[in-house]
Amino acid sequence: MLEQAKLTLKKYYGYDSFRPGQESIIASILSGKDTFVIMPTGAGKSLCFQIPALQLPGITLVISPLISLMKDQVDALGTLGIAAAYINSSLSYSEVRKRVAETRAGRYKLLYVAPERLQLESFRQLLTTLPVSMVAIDEAHCVSQWGHDFRPAYLAIGPFLQELGQRPVVAAFTATATPEIKQDIVRQLGLADPRIFVTGFNRENLHLAVRTLRGKEKRQFILEYVTARAEQAGIIYTATRKETEELCNFLNENGLTAGKYHAGMADAERKRNQENFIYDNLRLMVATNAFGMGIDKSNVRFVIHYNMPKNIEAYYQEAGRAGRDGEPAECILLFGAQDIVLQKFLIEQSVPHPERRKYEMAKLQSMVEYCQTSRCLRHFILNYFGESDAPEECGTCSNCGNEREVQDVTAAAHTILSCLIDLRERFGVRTLVEVLSGSRGKKVRDNHFERLPRFGALAQQYPQSEIQGLVGWLVTEGYLRQSDGQYPVLKLTDSGRKVLEEQVRLERIVPKQVPLQANSVGDDSLFQILRRLRRTIAERENLPPYLIFSDSTLRELCQRRPN
Ligand code: ADP
Ligand code: MG
Ligand code: ZN
């Protein structure tokens, strides 16, 4: 049977060999066992149910969450010469009946179905008339309320499987892999003692990078980065719709053609932009996380996150949309301290349940650690997904690739730890950072913390984001810990106390951040004048500004000083 699978791979898809995991997953399904597959985005999950579908007698139902995704897959199968159809809300009832009848007559091997259909008694009845050998559930994490794409209609799948007279083999697929969600999926779908496949999360061709920047610097960075890659397709994710709009406008004002995508736009416009992007008519897409699930565009060369996402799963799934063709691609996360505040706010707004909120906050904390770590980013992510044997250094991420420097943070750590004692270990990171940086937030004012001996003690030396980074580092290194509960409070640990009592020198290894050029230019106003001039010329000549002078040329001009 596996021989046949190989032939199918070659005959229909034109590929010579299976990717890691695919062959054993196909074998598991063909042997009739429920199968649960966790594979990163772009690894090639679709094949794993499509090939068995062709070999099994009868038909395979594929449950898939998005209408667009369904249509894309059915169309793609059509071009490969595989007969497939879909049923979703875009069809009238008579069309639905027609497709089911055609399926019964053996016209299709795969029938894609929207989960909402399964909520309809009449439709389920219709399905029972079909010889279903397999049910494949794509994006299976949508069944879990703990996941980030929960779709209530997915809850109809489990009961539907129970209802079927003869139980087909069930295969579930997802790219989300935390242990809780894994268990939840198995339970909600009622998988019977499934074989579980977790294939490597490592995507060798993705170069991971984090840069700590403030709002304005982020825009500047993107402008330069994107301008320097004139031919490449890329996605820029923002945390909010408003930011998608603003950033997209900003890029367009600067002569870069960018499209946008978020849930607040009209369907038609969204769809048009998405198609233009997929078919290479538009190389830049600025979007919220509404964009991308299941989009199979292989030549995305970079994914930039304008804001830190809410957790590592979301980040890796979005970043993973780069480089599906296996060629090198870059995943850059632009981190700013205000991102933490924003994500906390979003979680507080959207997650009412206290337990659940705690869980989300803990995941956010890991995301923050990723942004602040000085260790290998790839190692960090793989370790997060449970691949504890991942190499310590990948050699290509921004933390491995960059030079590092050793900072002596003994004095700063003393100040931070002592300040925490001043605060009687009764406040969280935010208040501590505010006090140390001398900012007068509400808590500070209400409690008169401006009278504390260490109020503003680090303000001269470090920007607020850096103080936050230092506190984060002290937590990661185990000198401080955060208490549980809804309002976590910072506590000194034993080793933290030791730092204060004994003479321990603390060294922090940080990636040497190459300062952004925009900031290293002494005369920023000259740069702005030149850009305005450039825009005037551009408008007169009706050309995009970057064709007149690139930003880097302008910057070089700025740096030349008359002797
Ligand atoms: P996933 O659903 O896991 O995100 P897809 O099934 O959409 O990934 O596959 C991603 C890309 O990889 C597709 O373009 C697919 O054709 C390609 N692909 C899958 N399996 C193979 C293979 N064995 N050899 C080469 N390319 C493959
Ligand atoms: Mg997929
Ligand atoms: Zn690395």
Question: Averaged over 39-43, what is the pLDDT?
Answer: 79
State the number of CA atoms in the 13 A half-sphere of 145 facing the CB. 11
| 556, pLDDT greater than 80 | no
Report pLDDT digits (tens) over 59-81. 999 999 888 788 888 998 999 99
496 or 41, greater pLDDT: 496
Report pLDDT digits (tens) over 137-170. 999 999 998 877 889 999 999 999 998 878 999 9
**pTM for this one?**
0.60
Answer whether 270's CB lies under 8 Å from 42's CB: no
Task: Tell how far the Cα of 321 is from the centroid of ligand 2, in angstroms.
Answer: 11
Neighbours of 167 (CB within 10 A): 14
Report pLDDT digits (tens) over 183-198. 999 999 999 899 999 8
- Show the tokens assigned to 525: 């106003």
Question: Averaged over 516-528, what is the pLDDT?
Answer: 48
Among 72-81, 308-317, 344-353, 539-548, the minimum mean pLDDT is found in 539-548
> Of all protein residues, whose CA lies closest to atom 27 belonging to ligand 1?
44
The continuous run of DSSP H or E covering 107 comes out as: none
Task: Tell how far the Cα of 43 is from the centroid of ligand 1, in angstroms.
Answer: 6
3-state secondary structure of 378: helix
Question: Averaged over 220-242, what is the pLDDT?
Answer: 93
> Of all protein residues, whose CA lies closest to atom 5 belonging to ligand 1?
44
Report pLDDT digits (tens) over 393-412. 998 999 886 666 788 899 99
Answer whether 255's CB lies under 8 Å from 284's CB: no
Question: Averaged over 503-532, what is the pLDDT?
Answer: 62
Task: Tell how far the Cα of 209 is from the centroid of ligand 3, in angstroms.
Answer: 9
Q: Which atom of ligand 1 is nearest to the CA of 296?
A: 7
> Of all protein residues, whose CA lies closest to atom 23 belonging to ligand 1?
18
Q: Which atom of ligand 1 is nearest to the CA of 43?
A: 3
The Cα 188–Cα 384 span in angstroms is 24
pLDDT above 70 coverage of the chain, percent: 92
Average per-residue pLDDT for the chain: 88
| 524, pLDDT greater than 80 | no
> Of all protein residues, whose CA lies closest to atom 20 belonging to ligand 1?
44
Q: Which atom of ligand 1 is nearest to the CA of 298?
A: 14
* pLDDT on residue 511: 62
Report pLDDT digits (tens) over 79-128. 999 999 999 888 898 999 999 999 999 999 999 999 999 999 999 999 99
Task: Tell how far the Cα of 150 is from the centroid of ligand 1, in angstroms.
Answer: 24
In this predicted complex, what is the ipTM? 0.97
Report pLDDT digits (tens) over 338-391. 899 899 999 998 888 888 888 889 989 999 999 999 889 999 998 887 777 789
| 520, pLDDT greater than 50 | no
Task: Tell how far the Cα of 210 is from the centroid of ligand 2, in angstroms.
Answer: 27
The continuous run of DSSP H or E covering 6 comes out as: helix 2-8
Which phi and psi (to 5°) does residue 102 adopt?
-60, -40
Question: Averaged over 482-497, what is the pLDDT?
Answer: 86
Task: Tell how far the Cα of 462 is from the centroid of ligand 2, in angstroms.
Answer: 45
Give the distance, in angstroms, between the CA of residue 61 and the centroid of all CA atoms in the same chain: 28
| 278, pLDDT greater than 50 | yes
Closest of 269, 265, 315 to residue 289, by C-alpha: 315
Max avg pLDDT among 419-433, 464-478, 519-533: 419-433
CA distance to 288, 428, 530, per residue, from 344 (Å): 17, 13, 40
| 537, pLDDT greater than 50 | yes
Q: Which residues line ligand 1 (CB under 6 A)?
A: 15, 18-19, 22, 39, 41-47, 296, 298, 324
> Of all protein residues, whose CA lies closest to atom 24 belonging to ligand 1?
15
Neighbours of 191 (CB within 10 A): 22
The Cα 414–Cα 422 span in angstroms is 12
Handedness of CA 544, 550, 551, 553 (dihedral sign): negative
Task: Tell how far the Cα of 46 is from the centroid of ligand 2, in angstroms.
Answer: 6
Q: Which atom of ligand 1 is nearest to the CA of 9?
A: 23
Question: Averaged over 505-529, what is the pLDDT?
Answer: 59
DSSP string of 400-464, one letter each residue:
HHS-EEEEE-HHHHHHHHHHHHHTTT-S-HHHHHHHHHT---HHHHHHTGGGSTTTTTTTTTS-H
| 522, pLDDT greater than 60 | no
* pLDDT on residue 34: 96
Question: Averaged over 202-212, what is the pLDDT?
Answer: 92
| 518, pLDDT greater than 60 | no
Task: Tell how far the Cα of 425 is from the centroid of ligand 2, in angstroms.
Answer: 47
> Of all protein residues, whose CA lies closest to atom 19 belonging to ligand 1?
44
Residue of 2, 9, 11, 19 to mutate, ligand 1, most atoms within 8 A of C-beta? 19
Question: Averaged over 19-35, what is the pLDDT?
Answer: 92
* pLDDT on residue 521: 35
Report pLDDT digits (tens) over 427-462. 988 899 999 999 998 889 999 999 999 999 999 988
Q: Which atom of ligand 1 is nearest to the CA of 41?
A: 4
Task: Tell how far the Cα of 547 is from the centroid of ligand 1, in angstroms.
Answer: 37
Question: Averaged over 279-308, what is the pLDDT?
Answer: 91
Residue of 6, 10, 206, 324 to mutate, ligand 1, most atoms within 8 A of C-beta? 324
Residue 48 CB contacts under 8 Å (≥ 6 apart), including other chains: 21, 22, 25, 26, 29, 37, 171, 173
**Ligand that lies nearest to the alpha carbon of residue 395, given by its number in the listed order:** 3
| 329, pLDDT greater than 70 | yes
* pLDDT on residue 313: 85
3-state secondary structure of 357: helix
